[in-house]
């Protein structure tokens, strides 16, 4: 996965234990298979930052518990460099509170905003860590 763009991606994620993906417009367009979201999950990807998402892929990311986040200002896409460290402090709090905007902190102390269009149920799924975790917690209550 991603070996053509960043040959060290997999190795770095294994060393770090987690990471992010930065994508452009219509990220995830093409295959709508769940495996397109399962591979990043298995690598430890916690969020994808993009200018826009392919609809089905976005849904599959959410089901796997991976945040599908949009650059509030698309020019922030250009600040991303391979190996950068970004943090999402208080992301669970932002999702739970209903906020549509999340602040990203960079390793140099700068910040920028990302947004999302998660429905209330998707927020719950993400806070629980994915659809399977959500179903384990809430599945019996909804039947």
Q: Is the dihedral of CA 14, 107, 112, 124 positive or negative?
A: positive
List, in sequence order, every residue forming a beta bridge with 80; answer none if it has no partner.
Answer: none
The pLDDT value recorded for residue 106 is 95
Helix (H) or strand (E) holding 51, with range, is none
Domain 9-142 is found in CATH 3.20.19.10: yes
Mean of the pLDDT values across residues 36-57? Answer: 92
The pLDDT value recorded for residue 68 is 98
Where in the chain are the domains? 9-142
Percentage above 70 pLDDT, the chain = 93
Instruction: Please state, in angstroms and rounded to a whole number, the distance separating the CA atoms of residues 142 and 125.
Output: 14
Interval 87-104: pLDDT, tens: 999 999 999 999 999 999
Cβ–Cβ under 8 Å, residues 100 and 115: yes
* CA–CA distances in Å: residue 122 to residues 23, 130, 137: 21, 9, 14
**Hey, how many other C-beta atoms are within 10 angstroms of the C-beta on 59?**
18
Mean of the pLDDT values across residues 66-81? Answer: 96
> For residue 17, what pLDDT band results from cuts at 50, 70 and 90?
confident
The pLDDT value recorded for residue 7 is 82
Cβ–Cβ under 8 Å, residues 68 and 48: yes
Q: Is the pLDDT of residue 139 over 80?
A: no
Among the listed residues 69, 125, 75, the one whose alpha carbon sits nearest the alpha carbon of residue 96? 125
Percentage above 90 pLDDT, the chain = 68
Q: Is the pLDDT of residue 142 over 60?
A: no
- Model's pTM, two decimal places? 0.89
Mean of the pLDDT values across residues 64-73? Answer: 98
Cβ–Cβ under 8 Å, residues 114 and 104: yes
């Amino acid at each position: 996965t991603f070996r053509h763009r960043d040959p060290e991606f997999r190795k770095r994620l294994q060393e770090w234990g987690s990471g992010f993906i930065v994508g452009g417009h219509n990220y995830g367009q093409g295959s709508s298979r769940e495996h397109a979201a399962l591979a990043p999950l298995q690598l430890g990807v916690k969020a994808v930052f993009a200018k826009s998402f392919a609809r089905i892929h976005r849904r599959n990311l959410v089901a796997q518990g991976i945040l599908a986040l949009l650059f509030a200002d698309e020019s922030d896409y250009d600040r991303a460099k391979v190996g950068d460290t970004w943090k999402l402090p208080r992301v669970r709090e932002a999702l739970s509170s209903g906020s549509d905007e999340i602040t990203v902190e960079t390793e140099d102390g700068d910040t920028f905003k990302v947004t999302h269009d998660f429905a209330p149920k998707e927020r719950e799924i993400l806070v629980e860590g994915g659809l399977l975790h959500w179903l384990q917690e809430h599945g019996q209550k909804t039947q």
